[in-house]
Structure 1
Amino acid sequence: MEIAKKFSCKVYQQPDVFTFCLGFLLAIGIFVSYVPQHIKVIKRRSSEGLSPAFLLLGSLSAFSALMNIFIVTIPARRCCVAQLNTYQCANSLVGFVQILLQAVGYILIFVLCVFGTKHSIRESKTNHHKLTLNFYIFVASALLDVLFVVYLFQIDKKGGMESLLFFADISGVISTVLAIIQYIPQIYTTFMVKHAGSLSLPMMCLQTPGGYVWSYSLYSQPNSQWSSWLPYFAAANLQLVLLLMCVYYKMYFPTKLTEANAELRIAEENMSHSISHADENTSLI
């Protein structure tokens, strides 16, 4: 009875116009904020400066958050079919659309780093091997999540959502933890290389303040769960630290010279790797 009351469609029938407009604009802005990062990886054809662990943990965090909001908004989607008009339905699903676009935007960075730099002379073969391994770990983990959610749907198909909601909260906690941990290897990588590399400053300038606004937007959604907005509030704080580091290095370090030296080091490393690989093939023949 308590669950049925909690998920009453009445909670979605009086949407706040300001919250809806803010949420809609954020949904567009969230994906657009990732575009500078996509463009930078495509232009440089290198993932230099981006930590493979950062991309893996961030993608896992984004997908866990997507699983969370997918489950949390099940009642809203059911109400859309039964009782809500188009505007009410759109308002009830703004949070889901936001997190979906965020997950797509972030995971696309990973995809571009793995497949867009594969044959580039600017990409470290060693680093690319780590990226590829991490990407397949992410794909396997995402598939397991999807299969488990399908299994929980079968358990709760009689109408209850206890198991699904419990898994949603677990996914939210996992997303929060990963959102925090993901910045540790990236902060370390940036500290070591002393420049942003393929990490986009415009992306972080857009996302850092946007992260706080987005957290508030998710918090103010009807039937909001703490596990849905907390990951983005935590991530915004750590992204601010990373942004300040990159700005500091750009202002006080010879960034262009550092990046040129990094590209030269990668070229020498790849040349050495190619010669070593050629020698192995020759010895086998």
Structure 2
Amino acid sequence: METSLNKNAHEILISVLGNVVDTEPRQCIPPDDKTTMFISIFLCFGLVISYLPQHYRIIANKTSEGFSAWFLLLGVVSGTSSFLNIILLQWDAVMCCKSLTTGACIEGLMGIVQIGLQWACFCLVFTLFLLYFPESKKREIHSPTLVVDLPSKLETPITNEWRVSLIVAATCIGHLAISFFISVILLVFVGGPEHWQTNYWAAFLGVLSMVLASLQYLPQIYKTWKSKTVGALSIPMMMLQTPGTVLFVYSLVVRPGTNWTAWLTYMVTGILQGTLLTLCITWHFRNKRLGIRDLDTPATDVDPTETTRLLQ
């Protein structure tokens, strides 16, 4: 009776974690699904192309105004977790490349390539956000006084927004380093992909990615709603990515070795991204009627500085 209860409890736990515990090692069977392969290749090219407008917009305008640091934090950590999750889940496919042809190996690894490209492109957005962070928002405005400041006090403190951005950058790097280290230890020194600790770590990364992706767009939606401007956000990028999420999710669902922890993240992200896209389009046309550019900030939403125009 006790053995039966323990078995049922174990089966329930496996079900909750997405059936990631697999007691039978996978065989190196060459994949032969041309349709899925074509969709995966199309999505990889489409993914890179869809991010180019966002990368170009930040570089061309030399500003990352309008981005939420919390949105980027959740996106990078979620993407890192998702990338390591699918590597762990498909580690057998990686090892099978030793006995498969180059074409079969590439086809078997397309799921990893897709999520890897997604992660790399989003990390580049975060890098550009830091490089092109508005200089006017890095330092507090120095209020002139009748008292002459000492030389040690001439350096104005950094703003809270820039401080948060630096903390976010350190957090993303720390999460990547720690997660990568744990994954390597589990794969190389503990017991490989079939070990229960590796499977549960992969499940944890997948669930963490899903939770963070569910929250990822909320800070950006709030910031865009509050600022009432599009800022450096790229509408063309979101118009390409939002419908493409449907094909992206489908290609992951049908890929062997993956489960809901690998694709549910992107489904939730697509819904929230569609919400942000709708909001950006609304503000774009509203501000166009008012004669405000997307990278302009309404005068009523900011405090005047020494660079603020006297006449609007």
TM-score by length of structure 1 reads 0.85
CA contact (8 A) 2:284 2:294 kept: no
Select the residue among 2, 15, 39 that pairs with 1:22.
39
Deviations 1:48-77, CA, capped at 9 Å, x for gaps: 211110011101011011110111121001
**Alpha-carbon distance, 1:262 to partner:** 2.0
Alignment match, 2:117:
101
TM-score by length of structure 2 reads 0.78
Establish whether residue 262 from structure 1 lines up as the match of residue 304 from structure 2.
no
**Alpha-carbon distance, 1:269 to partner:** 4.8
Deviations 1:190-225, CA, capped at 9 Å, x for gaps: 100112101110110011011111001111112222
The one-letter code matched in structure 1 to 2:292 is L
Alignment match, 2:229:
195
List gaps (5 residues or longer) in structure 1. 273-285
Q: CA RMSD in A?
A: 2.5
User: How far apart, CA to CA, are the structure 1 residues paired with 2:166 and 2:238?
Assistant: 24
Establish whether residue 75 from structure 1 lines up as the match of residue 92 from structure 2.
yes
Select the residue among 245, 250, 267 that pairs with 1:216.
250
**Alpha-carbon distance, 1:20 to partner:** 0.2
CA contact (8 A) 1:47 1:123 kept: no
Select the residue among 282, 285, 301 that pairs with 1:251.
285
Select the residue among 56, 59, 68 that pairs with 2:73.
56
**Alpha-carbon distance, 1:87 to partner:** 1.9
Select the residue among 173, 187, 190 that pairs with 1:139.
173
Alignment match, 1:42:
59
The one-letter code matched in structure 1 to 2:57 is K
Establish whether residue 182 from structure 1 lines up as the match of residue 199 from structure 2.
no
**Alpha-carbon distance, 1:260 to partner:** 6.2
In percent, how many aligned pairs have the same letter? 31
Q: Whose Rg is larger?
A: 2
Deviations 1:152-186, CA, capped at 9 Å, x for gaps: 22453367332112111111111111111011100
Alignment match, 1:275:
none
The one-letter code matched in structure 2 to 1:59 is V
Alignment match, 2:103:
87
- Of 91-100 and 248-257, more deviation after overlay is shown by 248-257
Alignment match, 1:113:
129
Number of corresponding residues? 266
**Alpha-carbon distance, 1:37 to partner:** 0.9
In structure 2, do the counterparts of structure 1 residues 187 and 209 end up closer, same or farther at CA, with 3 Å as the change threshold?
same
In structure 2, do the counterparts of structure 1 residues 246 and 88 end up closer, same or farther at CA, with 3 Å as the change threshold?
same
In structure 2, do the counterparts of structure 1 residues 57 and 158 end up closer, same or farther at CA, with 3 Å as the change threshold?
closer
- Of 105-114 and 152-161, more deviation after overlay is shown by 152-161
CA contact (8 A) 1:54 1:182 kept: yes
Deviations 1:213-263, CA, capped at 9 Å, x for gaps: 100111111222211111111100110111111111122334752656528
Select the residue among 194, 202, 206 that pairs with 1:160.
194
User: How far apart, CA to CA, are the structure 1 residues paired with 2:172 and 2:131?
Assistant: 15
Select the residue among 23, 28, 46 that pairs with 1:9.
28
Deviations 1:16-44, CA, capped at 9 Å, x for gaps: 11110110111121122111111111122
CA contact (8 A) 1:122 1:263 kept: no
The one-letter code matched in structure 1 to 2:66 is G
List gaps (5 residues or longer) in structure 2. 1-20, 140-158
In structure 2, do the counterparts of structure 1 residues 260 and 95 end up closer, same or farther at CA, with 3 Å as the change threshold?
closer
Select the residue among 271, 296, 302 that pairs with 1:237.
271
User: How far apart, CA to CA, are the structure 1 residues paired with 2:63 and 2:163?
Assistant: 13
